[in-house]
Amino acid sequence: MKKVELKRAGLTVSNICLGTMMYGTQVSEAEAFRQLDLYREMGGNFLDTSNNYAHWWPGASGDESETLLGKYLADRGCRDQLVIATKVGFDRHGEGAGLTAKQIEYWCDESLRKLGTDYIDLYYAHTDDKNTPLEETMEAFDRLVKQGKVRAIGASNFYTWRMCEAKHIAQQNGYADYTVNQPCYTYLFPKGGYKLAYEFNVNAVEERLRYLAANDIPLVAYSCLAKGGYDDPARLPDFYETGSRLDTLLECAKELGLTPSKLVIAWLLAQDRLPNRPTVIPLFSSSRSDHLKEILEMSDYVLDQEILEKLSDAY
Ligand SMILES: NC(=O)c1ccc[n+]([C@@H]2O[C@H](COP(=O)([O-])OP(=O)(O)OC[C@H]3O[C@@H](n4cnc5c(N)ncnc54)[C@H](OP(=O)(O)O)[C@@H]3O)[C@@H](O)[C@H]2O)c1
């Protein structure tokens, strides 16, 4: 698989990130281990988890994904071959959401314990916390970097203006800054005026894409397969506009002999060949090893420029 340098984070990662949100809950340990082995065999090294995955699953605590990864790392002895991203900031069973210094310190130690490691490669603020001063949050993250518990920090589900504010505070105080952004991003546009299901930013829109490109901040695109909705329309969340943009995707996929999901991955990987677009790293998940393999095979695919532009211009 191709590698991408996250220059400001000082990390080199495979250009497709593997999501482990449902490991240990919907996805069994045996299947998760199979997927992790396959991902590594194919050259993948970039894993995404969180301190609360997947607490909404019936009977789950929210520790399942990190705990399973910890078990895998110990079993295979491969910690140093992987770049592990985890997150802090969302609620788990009413334990309290937020990015206070106390919460960041506590959950970082908990993630280290569950993962069985002494450092996190990339530590994301999972969502914004408007009740805690950004100064407190950025100072707490910076302390973790200085202590060597965290190599780099990132922001997920942040509004662009809050990322700018955080950057300003980091620059003024010499703190570590958010080097990667992880919003929801896929080929289809969200419906105009769609009321968000959560208070966080559901999709990366034009203004954010331009900001990230101008500041050389890579975009790690979560839910980039629209929850499996490109190949199974019944799974497509209803907040996406479909119409002629989806028709264009389906036509081009047929012409190229790719599944729509695979073409979406190719389109995302080609974003930095367009003006005002950042480097995009698709972050996807699957419950099936065969699906996983066919997405990872797209890592080296070079999308034809004319098709890239046709897909991008469709609306
Ligand atoms: N930062 C955040 O707030 C946030 C939010 C959500 C997710 N995430 C991260 O992003 C990762 C992925 O997100 P996600 O699960 O929401 O979305 P996703 O990757 O867009 O969708 C997952 C769905 O895609 C389907 N799929 C995978 N490969 C396929 C293929 N080759 N052909 C057809 N369908 C395929 C899967 O179905 P099958 O199981 O049938 O293959 C699965 O149901 C998570 O694991 C998590 O790490 C982050």
Mind giving me the DSSP string for 70-110? HHHHHHHT-GGG-EEEEEE-S-STTS-----HHHHHHHHHH
Q: How confident is the model at residue 205 (pLDDT cuts 50, 70, 90)?
A: confident
pLDDT score at 198:
55
Q: How confident is the model at residue 191 (pLDDT cuts 50, 70, 90)?
A: confident
The b/e string for 70-79 (b: 16+ C-beta within 10 A; e otherwise) is bbbbeeeeeb
Query: What mean pLDDT is predicted for residues 160-173?
Result: 96
CA–centroid distance, residue 228 to ligand 1 (Å): 7
Tokens found for residue 91? 């609620």
Write the CA distances from 145 to 41, 49, 92, 138, 153, integer angstroms: 30, 19, 25, 11, 8
pLDDT score at 116:
98
Atom number in ligand 1 closest to CA 294? 31
240-272 pLDDT per residue, tens: 889 999 999 999 999 999 999 999 999 999 999
Residue nearest to atom 30 of ligand 1 (CA): 291
DSSP helix/strand/coil, 133: coil
Find all residues with CB under 8 Å of 302, minimum gap 6, and list them. 270
Return the CATH superfamily for domain 3-313.
NADP-dependent oxidoreductase domain (3.20.20.100)
Known catalytic membership, residue 53: yes
Q: Please list every protein residue whose CB sits less than 6 Å from any atom of ligand 1.
A: 19-21, 48, 156-157, 182, 222-228, 231, 259, 261, 283-288, 291, 294-295
Please give the mean pLDDT across all residues of the chain: 95
DSSP helix/strand/coil, 286: coil
pLDDT score at 207:
87
Atom number in ligand 1 closest to CA 22? 45
Task: Find the farthest-apart pair of alpha carbons in the chain and give their distance in angstroms, rounded.
Answer: 54
- Using the predicted structure, report yes or no on whether residue 193 has a pLDDT greater than 70: no
pLDDT score at 248:
98
pLDDT score at 206:
85
Residue nearest to atom 24 of ligand 1 (CA): 228
Query: What mean pLDDT is predicted for residues 234-238?
Result: 92
Residue nearest to atom 28 of ligand 1 (CA): 291
Atom number in ligand 1 closest to CA 292? 28
Q: Which residue has the tokens 């970039």?
A: 46
Nearest CA among 279, 280, 277, 282 for reference residue 296: 282
pLDDT score at 93:
82
Segment (H or E) for 265: helix 260-269
**Beta bridge partner(s), residue 83:** 46
pTM of the model: 0.97
Q: What DSSP line would sit under 147-196, residue for residue? A: HTSEEEEEEES--HHHHHHHHHHHHHHT---EEEEE-B--SSPBPTTPPP
Tokens found for residue 45? 């090294």
Q: How confident is the model at residue 192 (pLDDT cuts 50, 70, 90)?
A: confident
CA–centroid distance, residue 286 to ligand 1 (Å): 6
Q: Which residue has the tokens 């071959």?
A: 81
- Using the predicted structure, report yes or no on whether residue 202 has a pLDDT greater than 80: no
274-315 pLDDT per residue, tens: 999 999 999 999 999 999 999 999 999 999 999 999 999 998
Q: How confident is the model at residue 197 (pLDDT cuts 50, 70, 90)?
A: low
pLDDT score at 267:
98
Which value, to the nearest 10 degrees, does the dihedral of the CA atoms of residues 69, 144, 281, 155 take?
120
Share of the chain above pLDDT 90, in %: 89
pLDDT score at 180:
97
Q: Where are the domains of the chain?
A: 3-313
- Among 91-95, 112-116, 132-136, whose mean pLDDT is lowest? 91-95
DSSP strand pairing (11-14 vs 3-6): antiparallel
Choose the catalytic residue: 23, 53, 124, 185.
53
| Contact in structure between 135 and 106 (CB atoms under 8 Å) | no
- Using the predicted structure, report yes or no on whether residue 176 has a pLDDT greater than 60: yes
Q: Give the DSSP letter of residue 118.
A: S
Atom number in ligand 1 closest to CA 287? 39
- Using the predicted structure, report yes or no on whether residue 194 has a pLDDT greater than 80: no
Q: Give CA–CA dist 23/121, Å, rounded.
A: 20
